[in-house]
């Protein structure tokens, strides 16, 4: 690439948009010999361009920065650097791909991009022999083996492997979102985020699979897709050791361990639709085959022995009176409700929470009933009219008031 850069500056990945100034990965690994080289015009013959890339790299490494940008006041070492930097503000992209018409502000970026079409990957990792289209991507990859994190945040001292990651992180301290979409005015913290968003409007999918020719808007999505052809599954679940070809598949899977859970049986689910489908198994109407009913709450049972055990929950076995709260004087027919009342009503503890909206409840049955707000399911339906209820008790109360002829 022809723009002069600092040799210590971290080049950005080719996926980052051209809204920021980004140095081209080095064309050669050798170090330039001469620190100062006469500045050349922007337009030059093809035979002189390769040497000038190296001289630009060296020239950007030091010296006085006397050329100031009139827009953002950034200072640069050469006129050429300034001219290319101005494109960050103007959005000018004079170099376009002859294959997919994608445009770039720097010719070096175009040269690297062309390798996505040609399949050329001249840089290989000495650790795992993985190959890359440019040297800067290789350097970033090598850090996954070495664990090196050379860039640190001056605010919180958090370390990063890439300079671009540090730039994005710094915005988390300021809350700034300087990159806005010209179409819908949505703002983003990073230029890469804006660039990915713009593809929603343009429908552009510049990255295509060399095997099945499926196209993708992002290189990371293409890389994940390629694993479906190689059968490689590098992402493993730390809980159950199951492996996946893509990280987003793993993220969805992890929710099975930590995500959506049924408030009735506490079973976990990865997707909201699966949870809703499961909830129906708890509220499906069943045939009436419970001939023994409780005279207090009208709950029914299949066996008389079970009814006798149930009846003991309505009264204190010693005093044969409803359960009485000594704090507020309230009485309860059911032992479990009396215990729940004592445990939560006066302490303020609400251990049951809704996985959808975070609302909290003292009792599980209230949390289960609340789920109907999200699922739209009202399991108890009146056989005489269209009324529907979350709880069976509400249905029974409705039947007594509205359909007295149904009472037995």
Task: Please give the average pLDDT of every successive group of 10 residues along the chain, which has 408 residues.
Answer: 41 39 39 36 39 41 76 88 88 89 89 89 88 88 87 88 83 81 83 82 86 85 81 80 79 71 72 76 56 77 76 60 73 74 72 79 76 76 83 82 63
Beta bridge partners of 324: 331
Distance CA 43, CA 27 (A): 19
In-domain check, residue 132: no
For residue 316, the model assigns a pLDDT of 54
**Residues of the domain holding 323:** 292-377
| Angle at alpha carbon of residue 108, lines to 152 and 204, rounded to 5° | 90
Quote the number of domains for the chain.
3
Q: Are 260 and 355 in contact (CB under 8 A)?
A: yes
Do 321 and 355 fall within a single domain?
yes
Do 302 and 366 fall within a single domain?
yes
Domain boundary, last residue among 66, 93, 116: 116
How many Cα atoms within 13 Å fall on the side-chain side of residue 164? 19
For residue 88, the model assigns a pLDDT of 85
For residue 258, the model assigns a pLDDT of 64
Do 302 and 390 fall within a single domain?
no
Domain boundary, last residue among 67, 86, 116: 116
Do 78 and 28 fall within a single domain?
yes
In-domain check, residue 407: yes
Using left for φ > 0, alpha for ψ between -120 and 50, and beta otherwise, residue 231 falls in left
Q: Is 279 helix (H, G, I), strand (E, B) or coil?
A: helix
Task: Take residue 60 and report the two structure tokens written for it.
Answer: 């950007």
Do 369 and 320 fall within a single domain?
yes
Distance CA 273, CA 162 (A): 38
Do 22 and 64 fall within a single domain?
yes
In-domain check, residue 38: yes
Distance of CA 142 to the CA centre of its chain: 26
Distance CA 272, CA 274 (A): 5
- For residue 30, which of 49, 55, 5, 6 has the smallest C-alpha distance? 55
Q: Are 268 and 252 in contact (CB under 8 A)?
A: no
Task: Take residue 389 and report the two structure tokens written for it.
Answer: 């209820």
Q: Are 159 and 148 in contact (CB under 8 A)?
A: no
Do 4 and 111 fall within a single domain?
yes
Do 297 and 397 fall within a single domain?
no
Check which CATH number belongs to the domain holding 42 and give it.
3.30.160.60
Distance CA 320, CA 314 (A): 9
Q: Quick one: DSSP state of residue 196?
A: H
Distance CA 300, CA 132 (A): 70
DSSP H helical segments within 265-316, as ranges?
272-283, 304-311
In-domain check, residue 391: yes
Helix (H) or strand (E) holding 373: helix 372-375
For residue 165, the model assigns a pLDDT of 84
Domain boundary, last residue among 82, 116, 150: 116
Record the pTM.
0.32
For residue 22, the model assigns a pLDDT of 42
In-domain check, residue 9: yes
Q: Are 23 and 58 in contact (CB under 8 A)?
A: no
In-domain check, residue 390: yes
In-domain check, residue 60: yes
- For residue 12, which of 187, 229, 163 has the smallest C-alpha distance? 163
Distance CA 110, CA 97 (A): 7
In-domain check, residue 56: yes
Do 320 and 406 fall within a single domain?
no
Do 316 and 388 fall within a single domain?
no
Task: List all residues 6 or more positions away from 40 whose beta carbon is below 8 Å from its beta carbon.
Answer: 48, 52, 80
Do 359 and 299 fall within a single domain?
yes
Do 343 and 401 fall within a single domain?
no
């Amino acid at each position: 690439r022809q723009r002069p850069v600092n040799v210590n500056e971290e080049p950005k990945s080719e996926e980052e948009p051209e809204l920021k100034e980004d140095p081209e990965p080095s064309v050669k690994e050798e170090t330039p010999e001469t620190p100062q080289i006469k500045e050349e015009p922007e337009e030059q013959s093809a035979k002189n361009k390769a040497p000038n890339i190296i001289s630009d790299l060296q020239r950007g490494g030091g010296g006085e920065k006397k050329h100031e940008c009139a827009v953002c006041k950034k200072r640069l070492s050469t006129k050429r650097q300034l001219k290319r930097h101005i494109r960050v503000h103007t959005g000018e992209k004079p170099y376009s791909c002859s294959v997919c018409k994608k445009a770039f502000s720097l010719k070096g970026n175009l040269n690297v991009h062309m390798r996505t079409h040609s399949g050329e990957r001249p840089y290989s990792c000495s650790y795992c022999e993985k190959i890359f289209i440019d040297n800067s991507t290789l350097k970033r990859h090598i850090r996954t083996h070495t664990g090196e994190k050379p860039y640190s945040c001056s605010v919180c001292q958090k370390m990063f492997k890439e300079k671009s990651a540090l730039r994005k992180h710094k915005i988390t301290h300021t809350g700034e979102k300087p990159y806005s979409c010209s179409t819908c005015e949505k703002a983003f913290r990073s230029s890469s985020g804006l660039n990915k968003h713009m593809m929603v409007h343009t429908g552009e999918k510049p990255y295509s699979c060399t095997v099945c020719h499926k196209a993708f808007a992002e290189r990371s999505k293409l890389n994940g897709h390629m694993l479906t052809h190689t059968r490689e599954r590098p992402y493993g679940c730390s809980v159950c050791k199951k492996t996946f070809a893509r990280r987003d598949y793993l993220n969805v899977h992890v929710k099975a361990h930590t995500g959506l859970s049924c408030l009735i049986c506490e079973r976990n689910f990865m997707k909201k639709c699966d949870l809703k489908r499961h909830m129906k198994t708890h509220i499906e109407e069943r045939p009436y085959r419970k001939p023994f009913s409780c005279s207090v709450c009208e709950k029914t049972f299949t066996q008389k022995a079970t009814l006798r055990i149930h009846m003991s929950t309505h009264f204190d076995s010693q005093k044969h009176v409803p359960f009485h709260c000594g704090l507020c004087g309230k009485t309860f027919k059911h032992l479990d409700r009396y215990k729940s009342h004592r445990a939560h009503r006066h302490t303020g503890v609400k251990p049951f929470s809704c996985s959808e909206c975070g609302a909290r409840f003292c009792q599980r049955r209230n949390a289960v009933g609340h789920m109907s707000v999200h699922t739209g399911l009202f399991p108890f339906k009146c056989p005489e009219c269209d009324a529907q209820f979350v709880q069976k008790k509400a249905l029974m109360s409705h039947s007594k008031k509205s359909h007295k002829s149904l009472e037995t």
